[in-house]
A and B are shown apart, each in its own frame.
Chain A
């Protein structure tokens, strides 16, 4: 059971370039989330999904897009990268059941935009 996996681990982009951050989970979780974490800050929700084909915006969606074609995968697309998108990106998943609905995190992608 790999849990939540993310690729790549590190990436440097030039301003204006685009890229896709990959996220996959093998726990059959319905709920998946993308967060960004800036130094000294907590996690900010970018987008989330409650199941295949269903996505919604979080707190900071501008400059990002997502899709959810399967239960397992939840890629995050950056179009026209900007220095303000330099951050660490975490993907998380949860079952969506029970009072707790704990979220489990992937290892993160460290992105630098120059």
Chain B
């Protein structure tokens, strides 16, 4: 059973701080990793994807992947109240086009 684990939170940070969201996965045969943002009552929205070890930056978002440690993280710099949402980590396994999702981490950014 492939598993994706996230700290459910809630994670609370002040406005302007760096929010760090973490995700671990159980199977080394993993190709691609995704971070989705989900506002309350809305559908998941893709914000970052990564498949190589190291960092990938997109604006205020940085995804970090360490395949040896089976760990992927999302950093949000200069956090804004509009970043308050649940962040879902998802993993694509091998050549299979299915994703396995973690339960999500609730982030609250306080003004």
Contact = CB atoms under 8 A, between A and B. Distances in A.
Interface residues of A, number: 24
A31 B96 CA distance: 11
Interface in A90-114: 90, 94, 96, 99-108
B45 interface: yes
Interface centre among A44, A45, A99 (most CB of B within 10 A): A99
A103 B32 contact: no
Interface string B43-81: 111100101000000000000000000000000000000
A contacts with B: majority SS: loop
Contacts of A45: 98-99
B74 to A, nearest CB: 15
B103 A40 contact: yes
Interface in B68-111: 88, 90, 92, 97-99, 101-104
B103 A41 contact: yes
A99 B8 contact: no
B44 A105 contact: yes
Given A40-B8, A100-B51, A106-B43, A31 B34 contact: no
B104 A101 contact: no
A48 interface: yes
Contacts of B7: none
Interface of A: 31, 33, 40-45, 48, 50, 58, 90, 94, 96, 99-108
20 contacts: A42-B104, A43-B99, A43-B101, A44-B101, A48-B98, A50-B97, A90-B44, A99-B51, A100-B49, A101-B32, A101-B97, A102-B34, A102-B49, A103-B34, A103-B46, A103-B99, A105-B43, A106-B43, A107-B42, A107-B43
